[in-house]
Structure 1
Amino acid sequence: MQINRLRLVNFRQHECTELELGPGLTGIVGPNGVGKTTLLEAIAWVMYGMPAARGGRDSIRRRGAPPRSRVEVEMDFSLGRHHYRVVRGLHSAELY
């Protein structure tokens, strides 16, 4: 599986983050607390609906976001010659 794009909206510390990933190996580096582990948690959540490893479902919404603001993770990926997009919000999940 090749992850091509990952977009997070109000997910943990990410207000609106979009990553475009190319083929090959991708490394994620940065100082503590900037959201590296959160990217991995977002992938697990969008694919499997697993709550965050550090806290439950209530900890997913970005601190400081309005209470009814949208929380969403969108991921485009390729598997063989097939291309997919999966979108998960707090109350829904879609596969395209």
Structure 2
Amino acid sequence: MDTHTLSQQDSALLATLNAKLDQLADELNKSAHDPSQPQKNWLNITEASIYTGLNYRTLKKALQRAHIRGHQVAGTTVVKYSLEELDKAITHK
């Protein structure tokens, strides 16, 4: 038996998973382009890491090298990063 051949059950499962992934992608696209959804202008370090695709430590070093500083939310220890500044830093503009 060829090990690269999928059983009917495996093929059906794969088709179901693909359909669900397509549905999820459609829902994400709709919400991303929905003007009623507020767009975030400020990200915490974890969100910034996901947004840029960089590891947390790598991002921290890159932010220091680019002289991008976090902005502390008044009266808290929370630090946020400007989406605009992140975009400029990763596109080198």
Q: Same fold (TM over 0.5)?
A: no
Q: Which structure's residues are more often helix, by fraction?
A: 2
Structure with the greater alpha carbon radius of gyration: 2
Q: Which structure's residues are more often strand, by fraction?
A: 1
More relative contact order in 1 or in 2 (CA 8 Å, sep 6+)? 1
What is the TM-score of this pair, normalised by structure 1?
A: 0.22
What is the TM-score of this pair, normalised by structure 2?
A: 0.22
